[in-house]
């Protein structure tokens, strides 16, 4: 059994993904009764992706697209309906226990204040997890103070303070230190910088970059801020209505978005240059009801390029080029039946 003082060992080597998600699905039942029909909200619907060791994968999309639900499913904070989660090749819940998962994967939440126990000092909050996993009180407190130093907070000043006595940026640094206390290999950051002002946000992003380099971390970075995602990510995953619609290297996706939804998201990014500001909405209408999503491609009701095939056939994630850039759009699938699709080459 892995000792609490050591990181969980690397089993499969650099070529094996640290996180491998297959068919992850979460449906929330709502309504129902004596006469009413029971319905379900399709929050996450058959999501699959991989996160390589040492990389940062960003997840973007509109509010309600399933980003945070996916994070909570990965952390087992809620029960999934179906799908498999493999951590370094080991099936979570079978060959890899939830206790080991809690050590190998940690999460930093958006609300820095609600994430901390107001009755515990900062030092106690950071030391709590290691003590649960068997480290002595003295060693846990030493670790907490060391981590405070790593995240840029002087232990002699901040260790005995309570969460309400520090600023939002400092609290988020505390949350990052607490997440690192069990020496995880993967850290999920769910809108971890979105509540901070821009100057503090930049400091925290630089801190995350330094920690990744120094500690060999892997990040899953969830955000609605596309500029932040491009700055910190190696690859980006775009979600729409509970499904993955585009995935690929961050520069490939940002410079050549293949899915109309991704193009609309990028077109909506604010620009400082008045000549480049968007004057017309890049996307119209509200997202469809996740209780009764559209058939075929779920984006076809808002897509300017929608054709008959889009409403009838669900597009699979398909290669856009040889860089690993994938998109779930009939326009990139050869022979899909869409007028803009590439011609299917003869065998």
pLDDT digits (tens, 9 = 90+) for 79-129: 999 999 999 999 998 888 888 888 899 999 888 888 899 999 999 999 999
Q: Residue 9: inside a domain, yes or no? A: no
Instruction: Name which of 34-38, 235-239, 312-316, 338-342 the model is least confident about.
Output: 34-38
Predicted confidence at residue 32, as pLDDT, reads 67
Q: Residue 111: inside a domain, yes or no? A: yes
Quickly state the pLDDT bin for 242 (edges 50, 70, 90): very high
Quickly state the pLDDT bin for 13 (edges 50, 70, 90): confident
Q: Which is more confident, 5 or 48?
A: 48
Q: How many CA atoms lie within 13 A of 102 on its CB side?
A: 11
Whether residue 299 is predicted with pLDDT greater than 70 in this model: the reply is: yes
Whether residue 162 is predicted with pLDDT greater than 50 in this model: the reply is: yes
Predicted confidence at residue 174, as pLDDT, reads 94
Q: Residue 81: inside a domain, yes or no? A: yes
Closest CA to 121 of 166, 174, 151, 159: 159
The answer to whether residues 151 and 182 touch, using CB atoms and an 8 Å cutoff, is no
Whether residue 4 is predicted with pLDDT greater than 70 in this model: the reply is: no
Q: Could you list the residue range(s) of the whole structural domain that residue 37 is in?
A: 19-327
Number of other CB atoms surrounding residue 242 within 10 Å: 26
Whether residue 343 is predicted with pLDDT greater than 90 in this model: the reply is: no
Predicted confidence at residue 155, as pLDDT, reads 95
Scan for tokens 């990744």, then name that residue: 212
Q: Residue 191: inside a domain, yes or no? A: yes
Whether residue 192 is predicted with pLDDT greater than 90 in this model: the reply is: no
Quickly state the pLDDT bin for 34 (edges 50, 70, 90): low
Scan for tokens 């990510």, then name that residue: 233
Euclidean distance between CA atoms 71 and 309, whole angstroms: 32
Whether residue 321 is predicted with pLDDT greater than 50 in this model: the reply is: yes
Query: What three-state secondary structure class fits 260?
Result: helix
Q: Residue 5: inside a domain, yes or no? A: no
Predicted confidence at residue 105, as pLDDT, reads 94
Whether residue 5 is predicted with pLDDT greater than 60 in this model: the reply is: no
Whether residue 281 is predicted with pLDDT greater than 90 in this model: the reply is: no
Q: What is the DSSP letter of 282?
A: S
* Mean pLDDT (the chain, rounded): 90
Q: Residue 84: inside a domain, yes or no? A: yes
Q: Which is more confident, 293 or 346?
A: 293
Q: Residue 8: inside a domain, yes or no? A: no
Predicted confidence at residue 2, as pLDDT, reads 40
CATH of the domain at 298: 3.40.50.300
Instruction: Name which of 144-148, 153-157, 190-194, 316-320 the model is least confident about.
Output: 190-194
Predicted confidence at residue 283, as pLDDT, reads 79
Predicted confidence at residue 3, as pLDDT, reads 41
Predicted confidence at residue 334, as pLDDT, reads 93
User: What length does the chain have?
Assistant: 347
The answer to whether residues 14 and 218 touch, using CB atoms and an 8 Å cutoff, is no
Q: 265 vs 30, 60, 250, 259, 270, CA distance in Å?
A: 30, 9, 14, 10, 10
Domain count, the chain: 1
Q: Residue 336: inside a domain, yes or no? A: no
Q: Which two tokens stand for residue 192?
A: 């971890």
CA 69 centroid distance within chain: 9
Instruction: Name which of 155-164, 230-239, 282-291, 314-323 the model is least confident about.
Output: 282-291
Query: What three-state secondary structure class fits 25?
Result: strand
Whether residue 153 is predicted with pLDDT greater than 90 in this model: the reply is: yes
């Amino acid at each position: 059994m892995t000792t609490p003082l050591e990181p969980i060992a690397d089993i499969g080597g650099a070529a094996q993904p640290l996180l491998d998600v297959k068919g992850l699905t979460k449906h929330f039942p709502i309504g129902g009764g004596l006469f009413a029909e029971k319905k379900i909200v399709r929050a996450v619907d058959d999501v699959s992706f991989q996160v390589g060791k040492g990389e940062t994968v960003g997840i973007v999309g509109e509010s309600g697209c399933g980003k945070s639900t996916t994070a909570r499913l990965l952390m087992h904070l809620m029960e999934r309906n179906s799908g498999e989660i493999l951590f370094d090749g080991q099936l979570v819940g079978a060959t890899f226990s939830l206790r080991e998962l809690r050590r190998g994967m940690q999460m930093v939440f958006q609300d820095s204040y609600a994430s901390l126990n107001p009755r515990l000092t900062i030092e106690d909050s950071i030391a709590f997890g290691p003590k649960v996993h068997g480290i002595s009180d003295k060693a846990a407190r030493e670790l907490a103070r060391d981590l405070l130093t790593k995240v840029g907070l002087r232990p002699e000043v901040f260790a005995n303070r309570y969460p309400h006595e520090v600023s939002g940026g400092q609290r988020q640094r505390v949350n990052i230190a607490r997440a690192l206390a069990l020496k995880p290999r993967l850290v999920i950051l769910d809108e971890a910088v979105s509540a901070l002002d821009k100057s503090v946000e930049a400091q925290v992003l630089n801190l995350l970059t330094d920690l990744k380099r120094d500690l060999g971390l892997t990040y899953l970075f969830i955000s609605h801020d596309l500029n932040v995602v491009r700055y910190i990510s190696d690859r980006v995953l775009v979600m729409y209505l509970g499904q993955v619609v585009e995935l690929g290297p961050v520069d490939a996706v940002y410079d050549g978005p293949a899915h109309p939804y991704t193009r609309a998201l990028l077109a909506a990014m604010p620009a400082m240059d008045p000549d480049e500001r968007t004057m017309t909405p890049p996307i119209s209408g509200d997202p469809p009801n996740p209780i009764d999503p559209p058939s075929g491609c779920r984006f076809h009701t808002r897509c300017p390029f929608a054709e008959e095939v889009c409403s009838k056939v669900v597009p699979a994630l398909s290669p856009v080029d040889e860089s690993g850039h994938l998109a779930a759009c009939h326009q990139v699938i050869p022979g899909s039946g869409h007028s803009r699709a590439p011609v299917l080459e003869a065998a």
